[in-house]
Structures are given as structure tokens and as C-alpha cells.
A and B are shown apart, each in its own frame.
Chain A
Amino acid sequence: DGGITQSPKYLFRKEGQNVTLSCEQNLNHDAMYWYRQDPGQGLRLIYYSQIVNDFQKGDIAEGYSVSREKKESFPLTVTSAQKNPTAFYLCASTSGPEQFFGPGTRLTVL
């Protein structure tokens, strides 16, 4: 079955640590996205990539980094520079206007 997988489902981080969230898709989509979801805030765009080896900052990129070495994979690193990283992170991919979402990773900073 085609789809988007994110791992882990739950992630706990100590302050000052970097963590990497995985996002993999087998839909053969060119474009991939990372969103952050906070209660009552909707979804906000962190980074997006429209093609391998290229990516752009979204609205809230500070404290995050990404890579796009393969079409299928778009990992997100939450660095220690991100002041308030506790949130639900959603990855998406698309080949047209409709975006397909993964199940999300809930990150909690201890």
C-alpha cells in the first residue's frame, strides 16, 4: 500500500538535545512538507521541498533543519535552538494540489 510513514510516534527529548524525525513516502511524490501543530493554532509550515536536494524555509523554520537526499525521504531535525519544540509534527507529500499526510510524531521536551 502506498502512503507516508512517520517515526517514531512519540518522542521525548531532554533540553539541549537535537532529535531527528523520520518521514518516508512511497507515493513517488516530488514535493514534501513538514508542519507543526499546536493546540488552537492550526498547522504551520516549517520546511518544504519540491525536488531532491532542494528545500525552502516555511513560516517557522528557525530552530529546525531538513535534508532531501532521496525522493522518498525528508527527515526533520529539531535542534536545541528551537525554544519551544513540544508539539505534534506532521509530514505531507504531494504531486498536485492534494496533500497526503503521515500519522504524525508527538515530540515532548522533558
Chain B
Amino acid sequence: GNSVTQMEGPVTLSEEAFLTINCTYTATGYPSLFWYVQYPGEGLQLLLKATKADDKGSNKGFEATYRKETTSFHLEKGSVQVSDSAVYFCALILSGYALNFGKGTSLLVTP
């Protein structure tokens, strides 16, 4: 079946540190890949996406590249801010069905 595995948290970083959150997937076809972010008490917001191999999604300083050869979609940011503290979800979708989510990675950025 289809599944997403992402690194367990919580991840604690100092402001301006480099962030990587690992995400790998298993899929029976060619999925689209997503990173969603959830701030405390809120729903999920789409952070970035990639729909085919070698695509790079980017938004608000975050980037992730769709790597078919390693079935990965790692999230990176060069310099995190306190306001980036949230839970990050990696997800995939195959056509005509719902998203498969990873379990989420909690990020805490300290001043």
C-alpha cells in the first residue's frame, strides 16, 4: 500500500539554524507530494508541493525536491524563525483518492 514515513520529533532548533525534516514514501504509482504545516489549534495549510520527479516545491523559504530514485521529499529551510514553530506533515496522493499523511514532525524554534 501507499505510505509516508517522516522523522520523529520533536525537533528543537535555535533561530537562524538550518532545518531538515526527512520524508520518504512508498507508492504503487507516481504520486504527487506535499508538505503541510499546522499551527497550534488550527487546520492544515499547504506549504509546498511537487507533482513529478525532480520538481522542487518552494514557499516562504522552505524547499523540498521530489526524488524518485530515493523515494524522498525532504523539507529544508536555510534559516528558521521562531514563527516557524509548528507541526509539519509530509503527504502523498495518487489520482482519485485522499491524502496519505506521515505522522507529523513537531518543530520548536527558540530565540
- A interface residue numbers (CB < 8 A to B): 4, 6, 33, 40-45, 48, 50, 58, 90, 92, 97-104, 106
Contacts and interface: CB of A to CB of B under 8 A. Distances in A.
Contact of B42 (A40, A41, A100, A104): A104
A97 B44 CA distance: 15
Interface of A is mostly: strand
B61 interface: no
Contacts of B101: 42-44
Contacts, number: 50
30 contacts: A4-B43, A6-B43, A33-B98, A33-B99, A42-B89, A42-B103, A42-B104, A43-B101, A45-B98, A45-B99, A48-B98, A50-B96, A58-B98, A90-B44, A92-B99, A97-B51, A97-B93, A97-B95, A98-B49, A99-B46, A99-B93, A99-B98, A99-B99, A100-B46, A101-B36, A101-B43, A101-B44, A102-B43, A103-B43, A106-B41
